[in-house]
Structure formats: structure tokens, C-alpha cells
Amino acid sequence: MGCGSAKTQDIQETQPINNNINDSQTSSLASIDQIEIIKLYKKANYLIKNQNFEQATLLLDRILEIDPNYIDAFYSKGIIYLDQNNIDSAQEYFQITIQKQPNHALALNELASIMILNKSYQQALLFLEKAYQVNPNLPDLKYSLGYVLSRLNRKEESIHYFDLAIKQDSTQKHYYLSKATTLSDLKQFDLAEQTVQKVLNIDSEYVDGYVALAYVYRHSKQYDKLEQLCDQALKLDDQNQYILKCKQEIQKLSQTQPQTPFKQASIEDQLKEAVKMLQDSRLTQALDLLNLILDNTPTQLQALKLKAQIQNQFKQQTACLVTLNQILTIQPNDIDALKEKIHILEYHNKNEELLICYDALLTQQSNFELLEKKASILIRLNRIQEALSIYEHLYSQSNQNDPKIFIIRVTLSITQIQRCHNLLKRRSYKISIKYRYFKFISINLQNHTQRIISSLNL
């Protein structure tokens, strides 16, 4: 079936896909016929679930003899044809369904899945957006939207829909895999790897999971990890074409690169060779050589710095953070390592750790920008008084002709207002009316000053 298609095993015997009967059906059918149709439809769904398509088709045809306008019978026949890979007939029955009921979300989703099979992604998106307006609670529909948006290079949007689908139904493994490959396309390799690992932790023999992880490693040029993964995957499926392709690619790379007896070379020569590899963009080989050095000398500072540099290029933020912490354990005041760590922590909103890093930097170089950033973190941590002290210090030390002084003055005012809010909240209910009046004025002041800052674009 196509992407996001309803799977026959998901159809429950006691729950028809949609057993709504419109007014014309209700008026034209006797009560006994309605009961018979519902029973037949439940049984047909049970047969579809168990892939007894021939008997299910007979029952659906019987339903349409009783009521030629029973919409979901057409939809279910489309599902049968789709499962039998008879795409043309499936499409015909889904189109009949939406002709009779234009807002049939499941039929729209299935038509989109057929458009996806034909790589008509823009057309698929039209069906999916219409279906989503009708019924935004179908996890398959959210997944399909994510898949199509990813194919249309709207990858940031697609991640949003993958997350919605996973949140609603965390048991669907293919949801995670499509999210992981999209994250890899966005070069968010750490998150991509973590997403696939969630699936493999549940099912360690899930071959498609290994294929998705191979995709991530291949795109991030982590050939050492890719080689190990290929060996694992081929034990489960020795004919998997993508894994075999990756294996051949690794073998070609190893043949084109001259083998040097690095183990016998001195650390100085090994580091020189690693730098040369880095300059030649042979990042995976450089990383292998650096790991070799660090296996023997775990505290070799230059090797750690080069390793962090490569991990940063590979967008391996979690691994890079580990390496940076190793550097800072050896050399706590390494400015470059602190700055790079701050960059990663800001991405992950780790405010407490960020504050420690800024304090470490400020012991070595105190400047306007660093203090201002520290103050903004303190505000996020609701440590208003400390932030206020920093802003007052910046205001007192700044040149009055400096354009930045206006921003500091406004920020100082906003911070003072926030502090007043916090104080007033701790007072008794007797001043609640005054507090609300003050809050109304202060919020309007904040909004006004923020607009001024934006218009100045300083």
C-alpha cells in the first residue's frame, strides 16, 4: 500500500471504518435492512483484516445490492484492490467514494497514497490537506502529510507532522524511520540516529530500521559505524539492496585510500596526518586516526580538539559535547571549547549549564555581549534580581552615545517591571485590583518598547 494507507490489519471487526448512514439511506431502508447491512459490513471488515478478500468482496457486493449508496462499501472495495496491488481499480473505487461523499477523509488519504506511488506529490498534498481539514485526528493522515512535505523539500514542516503522528500512535515504526531520514536530510544527524534507535530498541531485528540508520551514517559520512551496521544488517537480510550498496561503497573507499602503518608512527606524525586528512576532507579517516591516538592517550588535547571539530562538521552534537567536556576537564579555561559548548547548549536550551559556561568565560574576558547574554539566561531562569544587577552595571558603564545604550535602558525597564510583577504576586489578595491595573500598564509598556527595539533594528 502507499504511504499512510490504511492497513487491513488495523480494521476492527467491531468497528467499521465509517458506519454513518446519510438521510437518504435512512429513509429508503427498512430497519431490518439497516441491521443486516451493519452486520455484513462488520463481517466484511473482519475478513479484510484476515486477508480473506474473496469472501469480503462477496459481502460488500451484497451490501451494495441492498443499498447501492452505502458509501463505505465502495471504500472497503478500494482497500481490497489496493492490498492486491490493483492500483487502477483501487483508485476507481476511492474516487466513487469521494464523489458520493467529498469529505470522506480515509478515501482522500488513500487517493493521496496512490498519488505518492506515482510520485505526484503536489496532487497528493491537495488530497491530504482536504482530508486533514475534515478529520485532523487520523495518525496515518498526519504521517502522510509529513512524508509528502518532506518529498516537496518542506522538511522542517514535515518533522512537525511526523511528531504529531508519533505522539498519537507511537507503535508505528515507519513513522520514526521517515522522521529520521528527514532529520538526516536536514543534517541533524544526532537526532536522526536517536530516532532510529528508539525503534531498534523495541525491535532489534527490524531490517528497515537498519536501512534507515545506514542512510543516516552514509549521509553523515560515518563510514566506520556504517561498516559495522552493514555487517549486522546482512545477518538479518543478506539480499538487502541498500545495505549491499553501502557495503560496496565502503569497500571502494578503502581501496582508493592508501593504507599507512599509523600504529607504528609517533603521536606527532599521527596528528600531522590527521590534520592533512582534515584539510583534504577525509573526515571519517581522520576521525578513525584520532580515535586510534586517543585509545592510547585519552588526554591528548590536540587530538580531542580535532575530534570535536570533525564531530561538529558531522553535526554530531551529543558526541561533540562529550568530547568538549573531556577538553574542559583537562583545560577548564579553553575559550574555544567553552564557546563551542555554549553553541550546542543554546540549541538544546540547557540554561543551567549555559550559565556555568558563561561564568567560566567571564573570568577570562568580560565584555558587553557576554554579560548581556548571561543576563538574558538569568531572566529565562526567573532570576530577575541578578539579571537586573547586570543590566544596571552595563547601563552605568556604557558610553551614552553608544546605540546599544538605548536597548539596555529599555531592557532594564522591562526587567524592573518583571521584578515588580514577581513582588506583587507574593502580596495578599487585598492589592489584587491594583496589581492587575499595574500589570495592564506594564505589559503595554513592554509591548511598546519591544516594538521600538524591532523598528530600530540595532
pLDDT of res. 29 = 42
Does residue 192 share a domain with residue 119? no
Q: Is the pLDDT of residue 328 over 50?
A: yes
Query: Count of domains in the chain?
Result: 4
DSSP letters spanning 336-360? HHHHHHHHHHHHTT-HHHHHHHHHH
Q: Rg of the chain's alpha carbons, rounded to an integer?
A: 31
Average pLDDT over residues 340-362: 89
pLDDT of res. 251 = 83
Phi, psi of 25 (to 5 degrees): -65, -45
pLDDT of res. 46 = 92
29 SS3 class: coil
Average pLDDT over residues 384-407: 71
Q: Smallest Cα–Cα separation from 87: which of 57, 117, 49, 108?
A: 117
Which H or E run includes 192?
helix 189-202
pLDDT of res. 450 = 54
- Is residue 178 within 8 Å of residue 163, measured between CB atoms? no
Domain boundary among 256, 272, 301: 256
Query: Does residue 447 fall inside a structural domain?
Result: yes
Does residue 132 share a domain with residue 9? yes
pLDDT of res. 369 = 84
Query: Does residue 70 fall inside a structural domain?
Result: yes
What is the DSSP code (8-state) at residue 127?
H
Which residues touch 237 (CB under 8 Å, ≥6 apart)?
Answer: 207, 243
Query: Does residue 161 fall inside a structural domain?
Result: no
pLDDT of res. 256 = 58
Does residue 280 share a domain with residue 330? yes
Query: Does residue 379 fall inside a structural domain?
Result: yes
What is the DSSP code (8-state) at residue 259?
P
Does residue 134 share a domain with residue 13? yes
pLDDT of res. 111 = 94
pLDDT of res. 414 = 66
Query: Does residue 156 fall inside a structural domain?
Result: no
Using a pLDDT cut of 90, give the percent of the chain over it: 46
Query: Does residue 199 fall inside a structural domain?
Result: yes
Does residue 92 share a domain with residue 10? yes
12 SS3 class: strand
Distance of CA 324 to the CA centre of its chain: 25
Domain boundary among 312, 342, 365: 365
Does residue 144 share a domain with residue 7? yes
Using a pLDDT cut of 70, give the percent of the chain over it: 77
Instruction: Rank 57-61, 378-382, 392-396, 415-419 by mean pLDDT and report only the highest.
Output: 57-61
Query: Does residue 84 fall inside a structural domain?
Result: yes
- Domain assignment of residue 216, given as a range: 170-256
Does residue 305 share a domain with residue 181? no
Output the domain CATH number for residue 251.
Answer: 1.25.40.10
What pLDDT digit, counting tens, does each position of 93-130 carry? 999 999 999 999 999 999 999 999 999 999 999 999 99
What pLDDT digit, counting tens, does each position of 11-60 carry? 433 333 344 444 444 454 456 678 888 899 999 999 999 989 999 999 99
Average pLDDT over residues 280-292: 83
Rounded distance between C-alpha atoms, residue 38 and residue 20, angstroms? 10
Q: Is the pTM of this model over 0.75?
A: no
Contacts from 133-137 at CB under 8 Å and sequence distance 24+? 134/103, 134/104, 134/105, 134/108, 135/105, 137/168
Tell me whether residue 425 is exposed, middle or buried, using C-beta atoms within 10 angstroms of its C-beta: 0 to 12, 13 to 18, 19 or more. exposed
Does residue 214 share a domain with residue 286? no
The mean of the pLDDT values for the chain is: 81
Does residue 23 share a domain with residue 133? yes
51 SS3 class: coil
Average pLDDT over residues 372-377: 86
Does residue 144 share a domain with residue 87? yes
What pLDDT digit, counting tens, does each position of 425-451 carry? 555 444 454 445 445 445 555 555 555
- With residues binned 3-state (H G I as helix, E B as strand, rest as coil), the percentages for the chain, rounded to 5, are 75, 0, 25
At 86, the pLDDT band (50, 70, 90 cuts) reads very high
pLDDT of res. 16 = 37
Q: Which of these ranges, 22-31, 116-125, 284-293, 359-368, has the smallest mean pLDDT? A: 22-31
Domain boundary among 221, 237, 256: 256
User: Can you read off the three cell numbers belonging to residue 415?
Assistant: 526587567
Query: Does residue 323 fall inside a structural domain?
Result: yes
Does residue 133 share a domain with residue 51? yes
User: Can you read off the three cell numbers belonging to residue 194?
Assistant: 536517536
Rounded distance between C-alpha atoms, residue 213 and residue 218, angstroms? 8
Beta bridge mates, 12: 15
Distance of CA 348 to the CA centre of its chain: 14
Does residue 212 share a domain with residue 305? no
User: Can you read off the three cell numbers belonging to residue 405?
Assistant: 545604550
pLDDT of res. 413 = 64
Could you tell me which residue, 91 or 221, shows the higher pLDDT? 91
At 403, the pLDDT band (50, 70, 90 cuts) reads low
- Is residue 72 within 8 Å of residue 44, measured between CB atoms? no
